[in-house]
Amino acid sequence: MWNRVVRFGSAVAAGAAAVLVSLAVSPAVADESLTSLAVPAVRSPISSDTFYFVMTDRYADGDPGNNTGGRTGPLETTGFEPASDAFYHGGDLAGLTGRCDASDPADEGLGRLKRLGFTAVWITPPFVQRTVQGSSAAYHGYWFLDITKPDPHVGTEADFAAFMGCAKKLGLKVFLDVVVNHTADVISYKEGNAYVPLAKAPYRTATGRPFNPWRFTAGSAFPRLAPRRSFAKTPRVDAPFASAKGPAVLNEVTRYHNRGDIAWGSCVGRCEMDGDFSGLDDLMTEDWTVVKALADAYGEWITKYGVDGFRIDTAKHVDPYFFGRWLPLVNQTAAAAGKPSFTSFGEAWLTDTAQLSELMLARQLPSVLDFPYQDTVRKFVSDQVTGRSLALLFDDDDYYTSASTNAYGLTTFLGNHDMGRIGFFLATGTSAEGPALLERDVLAHDVLYLTRGVPVVYYGDEVGMTGSGDGKDKNARQDMFPTEVAAWRTEERVGGAPIGSNSAFSRATPIEAHIGELARLRSENPALSSGPQITRYGDGSVFAASRIDVAARTEYLVAFNTADEAVSASIPTSTPSAAWSSLRGAGGAVTDAAGKMSLSVPARSSVVLKADSTLPSPGAPAVSVTAAQDAVTGRYKVSATVPGADPSSVTFVMRRKGAANWTVLGTDDARPFRVFVPPARRASAEIAAVVTDSVGQRASSPPITTGLSPFS
């Protein structure tokens, strides 16, 4: 479970380091009943995509007539003030759609994104918002009232249909940002907003009986609740908002947790899931009625408009069973609408891989935004950590591996609308200026595009936006069209002068051009997007990895250097005695009979090489397997050893002791070969591994027997 994950380096991890199970290595055997179980490593439907994440209100104003949302009156009514970074600025769906002509250089909308090589666009929530809360407007889209229709500030249903039609015409996928944890803040409490722990005030039925919402399964009848008896707080709603939410069931105050605000800094566990996120009304996601209402309402955007996927906001704040109940309903709707490849990724701001992976392995999300990646890559390109840190990051990728998930489906990024932009991190976190700053920014995008995962570029990064003030939140949400915010007119731009009163579209930028080149490189060499990634070198300022074209049996090498001077390294590969052609960076290279390459990586730059010959044919494969309890997570780490350097894959299988059928635990296609199995009380299991080498030969290990007891 989520709350049982142990953080790296904690006292608990240190105390639990004793291995409960450690089994001897067994020699490989060719057992047909096992070798037939081998399957390729999974790839997400978006593993070859590149995303452009755009805040619709800040991109382009295609229809000035909707800037005030169809309202007149004071700021708290219209929410429109383009000179303030806290209110609507006028960007809309019409502006984002543009002329829908990628061949027209004047098309600043989706046609521009197509020209830059993006294959998918993720837009901030387009739904009806509570226009103003406190001292800010809902220009960002995360304070929804009604998820059944677009907010009038961004456009009409016809505008959204036109936007989707254009995306389909250009071959762009569209992902909607959705919120399932909360709605806009319309519920208040007469007792105040301080969070009340469950131990002090349990949930009660309408008749006063205590109950735990987590005990109710999918489709089960949830207890009848009463506003004055069932909650830690007494919820109330002002008359103007009494029926403002859609779907209508969300207007019932008994569909919320009503416990007060999350106490940031002191809250861990249950309070993060049933407290109000900064006052926003926290939905009772354990209630099947809520689950079904959210699935039906969001499903309409798939059925009616054909959206291709969801990015799910505040994913760690819903109850741990929600996604296992809600996502199957959403996916059924998508399949019925002719979108079997519909998928989703969630947001949980966690920089610990073991914790983040639990959202996929335990909470059943197909993917998540890779915050550990962002944290490590940002520090690497800022020269704050070494290539070893990047190697250790990728070494933890096996925490994400299951029969249906792995790290190749993670959405990777350099910055976002909450934490700030990569340009700001580089401008404030390094001493680089001018050309050197630009080179580090370009290098950051090289890492983003050329390592595993699905790259997401935050709008404006491609034109060198940085940020004002602390660079976070509102300070990282600049206008692409001519801005009226004074600070944004004068703030630093990577690779160019401050924008002044001009539009970001009026200038060609070196970062923009480079992103287009990276997109072309990935498109022409699919191994650079979805091929297995094998870490080859991580030390000092250099990191290098192989990417494998499995079908063509061809190896690529990508290398990055953050130093201010060229650095040479001896890098192992799986392709000996070969010449390598340069696709980016330095000239070609060769490998010796042992597969070693002497490579010089230019300062603040990257190198991409492709072997001119195929991988050597391997001998007969062999595999052995061990199991030991992982001190970090409490899961069982199942490891396979495959001799040699061939880029093989290993499928791990398990069956409960005495059972007839095997279950695939997952396939790992990069060394070290591992999966992590959840513990179970009073359980004993057989585990085996099947290796498939680069020419399709297979071998299996004999099964080993292990208990799966959790830590005591």
> Looking at residue 559, which CATH number applies to its domain?
2.60.40.1180
> Looking at residue 30, which CATH number applies to its domain?
2.60.40.10
Alpha-carbon distances, residue 342 vs 105, 290, 386 (angstroms): 31, 22, 37
Please check whether residue 211 lies inside any domain of the structure.
Answer: no
Distance between CA atoms of residues 228 and 53, nearest Å: 43
Q: Which residues of the chain have pLDDT under 70?
A: 1-32, 682, 711-712
Alpha-helical runs (H) found in 136-207: 157-170
Please check whether residue 443 lies inside any domain of the structure.
Answer: yes
> Looking at residue 307, which CATH number applies to its domain?
3.20.20.80
Beta pairing partners, 237: 187
Helices then strands, each counted (H, E), the chain: 17, 33
Please check whether residue 209 lies inside any domain of the structure.
Answer: no
Return the pLDDT at 711: 59
pTM recorded for the entire structure: 0.94
Residues 478 and 402 placed together within one structural domain of the fold: yes
Residues 588 and 461 placed together within one structural domain of the fold: no
Return the pLDDT at 506: 93
Residues 168 and 298 placed together within one structural domain of the fold: yes
Please check whether residue 100 lies inside any domain of the structure.
Answer: yes
Residues 84 and 138 placed together within one structural domain of the fold: yes
Residues 511 and 583 placed together within one structural domain of the fold: no
DSSP 8-state assignment for residue 254: G
Contacts of 624 (CB under 8 A, 6+ apart): 25, 26, 27, 28, 640, 641, 689, 701
The domain boundary, picked from 486, 521, 556, lies at 521
Please check whether residue 220 lies inside any domain of the structure.
Answer: no
- Nearest C-alpha neighbor of 554 from the set 607, 593, 611, 592: 611
Tell me the two tokens of residue 253: 């105050």
Strands 343-346 and 309-313, by their bridges, are parallel
| Number of domains making up the chain | 3
Please check whether residue 437 lies inside any domain of the structure.
Answer: yes
Please check whether residue 652 lies inside any domain of the structure.
Answer: yes
Residues 603 and 648 placed together within one structural domain of the fold: no
Angle 388-393-398 from CA coordinates, rounded to 5°: 130
Return the pLDDT at 30: 53
Please check whether residue 25 lies inside any domain of the structure.
Answer: yes
Residues 488 and 446 placed together within one structural domain of the fold: yes
Distance between CA atoms of residues 369 and 446, nearest Å: 18
Residues 380 and 461 placed together within one structural domain of the fold: yes
The domain boundary, picked from 551, 586, 611, lies at 611
User: Residue 262: what are its φ and ψ, rounded to 5°?
Assistant: -60, 130
Tell me the two tokens of residue 354: 């073991």
The domain boundary, picked from 487, 521, 555, lies at 521
Residues marked as catalytic: 313, 347
Range of 702's domain? 2-43+620-707
Residues 517 and 444 placed together within one structural domain of the fold: yes
Contacts of 355 (CB under 8 A, 6+ apart): 5, 7
Alpha-helical runs (H) found in 307-386: 322-336, 353-361, 371-381
In the chain, what is the straight-line distance between the N-terminal and C-terminal CA atoms, in Å? 15
Residues 487 and 553 placed together within one structural domain of the fold: no
Return the pLDDT at 2: 33
Residues 382 and 503 placed together within one structural domain of the fold: yes
Return the pLDDT at 645: 95
Residues 605 and 697 placed together within one structural domain of the fold: no
Return the pLDDT at 708: 82
The residue written with tokens 């999300």 in the block is: 365
